[in-house]
Structure 1
């Protein structure tokens, strides 16, 4: 029995990055032999075991044979006869097909080290085409490392899209990979690759439709809506903001790519037209509620937030209530962060001032300071309470706004 480190742990060590999780492959063993050594079986579809002391995962070397569509359509063969090279051959990318033995020697039959040095993502074998999730994973690695895609790999991915393999992706797995990619250093690269191979039009047509949609050059020197959204997304990543903020930034302009007849009449602004698209995208990909709710808020309110200093006190109060800003101040701050990213995610606007954020956060605190309980106690009739509290909040906003803009 021989044991090797494989995959991401070897790759990240060679790149000088922190190694988080270590995966091991075991050659020349059987499930029963692993159990006899005290390992605990955890894999249902694959022969995977937990080490009795470290609880790290050890997988028996295996072969895979395509038996259906999608990433679950495989038959697995694990036996002591499967070699390390055969196990590495079934992996997705050459940079993930490097092994390291217990003495620290590298086994690299598919030139993964060369591709690490060249910063290239290249498939190990034609078997890459058997699992559509690998397109998503490759795009995510591009967002993490900033690597380019080998021309032959891009050709293969395009053919996978044409052949309909991407159509068999399950929503949960698409969201899982997309969420991971959104949290990488440069998430725009993930979407660039998904667009180039044609996969984005299949898994998120609402996002894919943004490219080619022009905008006013005085507000958007980058002109193209898709380019703008990617700048916004990368700005969020540069700030280290959470997943919900990044997803909201991704979705904030979906309504701009919609012809009016698709969703709502022409007189409705792109913000309102975009909300049904955000909801449709979130429903199809089964996006978590936290991400969906913030994305809807940002899509619906971001233009109003940009004009906050010109709004009437009544409009500002209504904005706070729609956003539930008093009860959920953290989410309201995330909304404003996404709006800040929208303002700065433009060529030549990267460092622009955005006083709207400080302005609205201050007014939110002013509104929160209004003592609704005291006002209610002074009302002789219960039906008067809501109007009285609203009037007090509006008056507080008007007074504070006057002091700020004086």
Structure 2
């Protein structure tokens, strides 16, 4: 008989378990606090929603909640199940179409409208709000009836479709420096080319009037529409870049979000773009959304579209998720202090979405301050005001190692059982 002992089997199984539980910062998540976000573990929506949850760093790859995919819907914010604070969200998108991302929350329902408020903190900077859809969308038409809260320079409001993980984004953004237009832009794979920004034609004061903003997004083109008038179209065929052998066209499953944030406290380029320092005597700064209509490209089918490969396409790679670290909500939780928990479900993808809204600082190669409306590309929360790069995606080698030890443990058990 070969010298195979229970101790050997136990050791292999122990190593497999230890490797399967990814490292979340300086700690390892447990079964009671299984979800990892930026070095912290917990069991509630603030950690387990696929928008934020880092599956590779969590207790197990299935700790994060499922990604819920697009269904055709019309959301009015006076209706039940339209909005929830993130502490009250249990992972079921039927219970809330949108959730407020941060705690403490500056988002609420008031008189049938979703209101997001920017408030002044003790350090003089503004603390705003981000509200994120609970279903991911990949192509479709999204229409929002909203009013910006930019009644002072420095205040920025936004309506964005973004995959924070991949870095694809389509947006409408409002700045206090200009109340008569809305800005449109799009990004591919975190390449923040601000030269592509196009303003809308003149509009009634966006801070006093509700206007209808629409993004029409298909595999072939993006159209920006305000009050029924299309003012910009970007065709996928025009985004081909031979140097990278790809169409620089947003095509990854993403999340709809609305936000308000302090651009005036950002880096010089961001502040100038937003209209300078906020004049706090002009508050309150309240962005409001009356309704959101979502018409999925697949007419309600929750199946995720995979872009075709070959012929210079993106090969579908932008649709498959890579896990990255996202910023924590503004009040960084510690350990398992937040007691509101939700049930786990398997997660096959972990795509994050929200607004990025970082603006140039005078150098095309520099990355300016992250907007406070985002839990996205630079891992900066609303309280910060400084730039910080997100951690690198985990490599597949770690999963291969886990699999190898799993095979080893199984082989040892099988070998012992045969004697």
Give the structure, 1 or 2, with the largest relative contact order (CA under 8 Å, sep 6 or more): 2
Whose strand fraction is larger, Structure 1's or Structure 2's? 2
Q: Would the TM-score normalized by the shorter structure come out above 0.5?
A: no
Q: TM-score, with normalisation over the residues of structure 1?
A: 0.26
Whose helix fraction is larger, Structure 1's or Structure 2's? 1
Q: TM-score, with normalisation over the residues of structure 2?
A: 0.25
Higher-Rg structure is 1
